[in-house]
Structure 1
Amino acid sequence: MSSTQVEIILIASVVALSCSLLGVFLVLKKMAMMSDAITHTILLGIVIGFFITHDFNSPLLIIGAAITGVLTVYLIEMLQRTRLLSEESSIGVVFPLLFSIAIILITRYAGSVHLDTDAVLLGEISFAPFDRMMIFGLDIPKSLFTGIVILGVDALFVLIFFKELKLTSFDPLLAATLGFAPVLLHYALMTLISVTAVGAFNAVGSVLVIAFMIGPPITAFLLTHDLKKLIGISSLFAVFNAVVGYFFAMYFDVSIAGSMALITGLSFGVVFLFSPREGLLSTKVRRKHQKREFAELTVLFHLFNHEASEDEAEEAGVWSIYEHLNWSQAKIQKIIEALESKRLILIDRDVIKLTELGREMSIDYANSIFDR
């Protein structure tokens, strides 16, 4: 593997880590779509900053992007507070408005300069290693240095304000009651998200920023709800998606950014289906097991209820019990076979009887019902 390939993987991994780190709190705040709005509307701040400085390397571009990101959040929440629009509708108004202004400014006044909307949206990470800088005697890509600095700032912010972020994410009212400033922390988070997005623009584009910011956190959320584990698992998925996405792109000779976004979606899909905690298939299997277990307990309780009664032969008969439970004969036959295999019942002259173990389980089930 060449040094250029290693640098591409490092740049993508650093960007993915910084995006997923902040994305965890967006997911917890149920503001995932806010990342889509911010990563597009900050283009307006970049354009205005460029028109003022005429320098793509000016820090004013990042400042302008951060201000536009915060403005986006403020306008969306202002519309939402009127109760006339939902959050989705507010995003649908503010996001196209600010983004379209940026596009018009670019096409009208920046047609002769290298400020391309396609590059901003889609990015081209394969070119990132060729824009280099010297730092402490090392010749490294600018995108890698910028990504490391932003990742460091994001990690430091989360580390310092971890308890406050945790509290404001799960219970902002309690945070305000305890004396925290949830609004201030909220806008600080949105500012960092804006800075992280603009720092990743040159390397990966806004589409991949959205994928990295939301994909790994929602994937991790299907595996755990513990915040520390959530951040750790999200970070692992972020790096995994970046690395595997790169090799996928090399193997099939396709877009690197597109491949990374694809792997992000596929990894979520796999966890969504097979997660032992909340996976679609595992949930269906668990519900099926619970349904079968409930049916078995129902049969045991029915047998216990009619044990030693005058109508036991009719109520607990192998060929008549299904009529009293209003189930199909095929269903009751499967349950009887399962209970027999567990030694909870035995059949005596076509009458189903409880074993001692089955009787104990029936009593426990009855007690649990009455205890409620």
Structure 2
Amino acid sequence: MTYTAWIIFTAALVGLSCGIMGVFLILKKQAMMADAISHTVLLGIVLTYLITDQLHGGVMLIGGVFAGLLTAFLVQSLHSLNIQHDAGIGIVFTTLFAIGVILIATSVGNVHLDVQHALMGEITFVPFHTITLPLIGSIPAATALLLVVLLIILLFITIFYKEWKITSFDPALAASLGMPVLFLHYLFMSLVSITTVASFDAVGAIMVVAMLITPAASAYLWTDRLFTMFILSGTFGVISAVLGYYLAAWIDTSISGSMAFMTGIVFFISFIFSPIHGLIAKYVRPEKTA
């Protein structure tokens, strides 16, 4: 594959993985947890680097999962103390992200990790850092990590599809049926953390947030069927990644920023033209008579 093809393929994997995970975040009304985790994973990555002096995919995943679970635990703990959920998210993610920024500024030396990289990523460097895999050959390390994470996501969603579906729509019913609601919650947040870390190095926190929330929100406007929503959300993520790259190449600007911008364009089109919940459909649909 060419240099450009690797960038587009890697970004498409980010869009697909985040788009799929974002569906449950939207249905659980926990979209802002994506924003929180996408920032707090920075702390987990920095801490694991300080402990191991390594910055490869496996170490980053461990640090990211730790930070994601810590974020979810602290937000849940604050909520149990009668602090509003959104306020708890704001308190936790700004505090943990600030700690990560301070550690980068004071304790991390000349490594490929800084605040600008954390926010925007640097997807243009992805094709230069390669690994060799059996039967496949040379492949960018970030791309390989995203492929593995995508397979993990699909595996866990297949295994826990029914459980997460019930807990998303009716947690009380899930608890009454004997489902381990808290375990399922933290397992899901672990997957969100893994997805975030895998995407983090290439595209940064801003695009991760955009890809986790906006494609799923767009898909929600088009369908009321969960499986169809998964397909649409992943497709919207891929489309946004591809079109965002060509937009960035056209006007010579940030690739990650352009991809995030395209998720907003897709949502705007969905908001206007969706046949189910779109703005036009609401006006042209005949009102029900008593």
Question: Which has the higher mean CA deviation after the structures are superposed, 204-213 or 106-115?
Answer: 106-115
Give 1:260 deviation, angstroms.
0.6
Give 1:284 deviation, angstroms.
2.7
The corresponding residue for 1:131 is 129
The corresponding residue for 1:156 is 155
The corresponding residue for 2:53 is 54
Q: How far apart are the structure 2 equivalents of 1:58 and 1:9? A: 20
Aligned residues: 289
**Which aligned runs of 4 or more in structure 1 are off by greater than 6 angstroms?**
none
Give 1:58 deviation, angstroms.
6.4
Q: State whether structure 2 residue 109 is matched by structure 1 residue 115.
A: no
User: What amino acid sits opposite 2:244 in the alignment?
Assistant: G
Give 1:252 deviation, angstroms.
1.6
Equivalence map 1:332-347=2 (5 Å): none
Equivalence map 1:279-298=2 (5 Å): 279-286=278-285, 289-290=286-287
| Structure 2: segments with no counterpart, 5+ residues | none
The corresponding residue for 2:185 is 186
User: What amino acid sits opposite 1:174 in the alignment?
Assistant: L
Equivalence map 1:93-112=2 (5 Å): 93-112=91-110
Equivalence map 1:1-372=2 (5 Å): 3-57=2-56, 59-83=58-82, 85-136=83-134, 138-286=137-285, 289-290=286-287
Give 1:111 deviation, angstroms.
4.3
| Cα distance change on mapping 1:214 and 1:110 into 2, 3 Å | same
Seq. identity, %: 43
Q: How far apart are the structure 1 equivalents of 2:162 and 2:216? A: 18
| Cα distance change on mapping 1:58 and 1:237 into 2, 3 Å | closer
| Structure 1: segments with no counterpart, 5+ residues | 295-368
* Contact 2:153 2:191 (8 Å CA) reproduced: yes
* Contact 2:57 2:198 (8 Å CA) reproduced: no
Give the structure with higher Rg (CA).
Answer: 1
* CA deviations over 1:104-127 (Å, ceiling 9, x no partner): 111111144332111111011111
Q: How far apart are the structure 1 equivalents of 2:207 and 2:163? A: 29
- TM-score, normalization: structure 2? 0.96
- TM-score, normalization: structure 1? 0.75
User: What amino acid sits opposite 1:127 in the alignment?
Assistant: F
Q: How far apart are the structure 1 equivalents of 2:128 and 2:210? A: 24
Q: How far apart are the structure 2 equivalents of 1:175 and 1:153? A: 24
Q: How far apart are the structure 1 equivalents of 2:112 and 2:284? A: 55
Q: How far apart are the structure 2 equivalents of 1:66 and 1:267? A: 30
Relative contact order higher in (CA < 8 Å, ≥ 6 apart): 2
SS in structure 1 at match of 2:54: coil
Q: How far apart are the structure 2 equivalents of 1:216 and 1:118? A: 24
User: What amino acid sits opposite 1:252 in the alignment?
Assistant: I
Q: How far apart are the structure 1 equivalents of 2:246 and 2:56? A: 31
User: What amino acid sits opposite 2:168 in the alignment?
Assistant: S
Question: Which has the higher mean CA deviation after the structures are superposed, 45-54 or 276-285?
Answer: 276-285
User: What amino acid sits opposite 1:245 in the alignment?
Assistant: G
Q: How far apart are the structure 2 equivalents of 1:270 and 1:191? A: 32
Give 1:244 deviation, angstroms.
1.1
Q: How far apart are the structure 2 equivalents of 1:285 and 1:19? A: 33
Q: How far apart are the structure 1 equivalents of 2:210 and 2:72? A: 19
Give 1:64 deviation, angstroms.
1.9
SS in structure 2 at match of 1:139: strand
SS in structure 2 at match of 1:236: helix
